[in-house]
Amino acid sequence: MKSKIAKIPKQDRPREKLARLGPAALSDQELMAILIGSGTRGNDVLTLSGRIVARLDEARGSLSLDDLVAIDGIGPAKATLIAAAMEFFRRRIRPEGVKISKAEDVLPLVLHYADRKQEHFLAISLNGANEVITTRVVSIGLVNTTQVHPREVFADPITDRASAVIVAHNHPSGRLEPSKEDREVTRKLKDAGRILGIKLLDHIIFSKKGIYSFLDHALL
């Protein structure tokens, strides 16, 4: 049986695609496939990279060496490589200081989640100058008041000493219109933020087709 990578036309394989279009054109899964280099017996590199990205999403981007080694197909060598890359990114390439002036400014921070098969709910902590402190995954799954509780959204921004937050989530269907649940979650988060003194600046729904801003549609 051919591996997933072997079924992809050569020019569209991760390394060749990066050389042709640049790294921004690749999905998280494709970038991880380049980083780990190869799969293992019974674990195609794209399947393996997909598992790693899924675990990173679930763990809000933070995995220990033990967590990495626990992923089927990841041994000590690949685990240390991934851990080193994550630490390098943490030190050097964090989006701190990026100023958010309009909804479109959020896209570079979240757009790589647009290809996820499940909804990913994200919270972006901002300082008093509307500069990004950090971006985190709050929950994975349908956006509703059970999954997206104010305590989960605001716990880290409180620790960050954030002045405001922007929340965002992807719609795997591609449709950008907010659901009843999206509106209810937004109302609850706005009310909670008012009590906590951390303003909810916007709720952004995004897909590969574009974005929908609650603020721009006067829903905040």
Does the pLDDT at position 154 exceed 50? yes
pLDDT-derived band of residue 145, with 50, 70 and 90 as boundaries? low
Domain ranges, residue 156: 103-213
Q: Is the distance from CB of 57 to CB of 137 less than 8 angstroms? A: yes
Q: How many beta carbons lie within 10 A of that of residue 65, not counting itself?
A: 13
pLDDT-derived band of residue 146, with 50, 70 and 90 as boundaries? low
Same domain? 132 vs 196: yes
Distance CA 23, CA 33 (A): 12
Distance CA 206, CA 86 (A): 25
Same domain? 138 vs 174: yes
pLDDT digits (tens, 9 = 90+) for 182-217: 999 999 999 999 999 999 999 999 998 899 999 999
- Residue 207: both structure tokens together: 């897909």
Same domain? 117 vs 191: yes
Same domain? 115 vs 208: yes
pLDDT at 3: 62
**Within a domain: residue 137?**
yes
pLDDT digits (tens, 9 = 90+) for 13-46: 889 999 999 988 888 899 999 998 888 777 888 9
Same domain? 112 vs 159: yes
**Within a domain: residue 97?**
no
Give how many domains the chain has, as a whole number.
Answer: 2
0.85 cut: is pTM over it?
no
Burial class (CB in 10 A: 0-12, 13-18, 19+), 57: middle
Does the pLDDT at position 94 exceed 60? no
Does the pLDDT at position 1 exceed 50? no
Contacts 24+ apart (CB under 8 A), 101-105: 101/130, 103/202, 103/204, 103/211, 103/213, 103/215, 103/216, 104/211
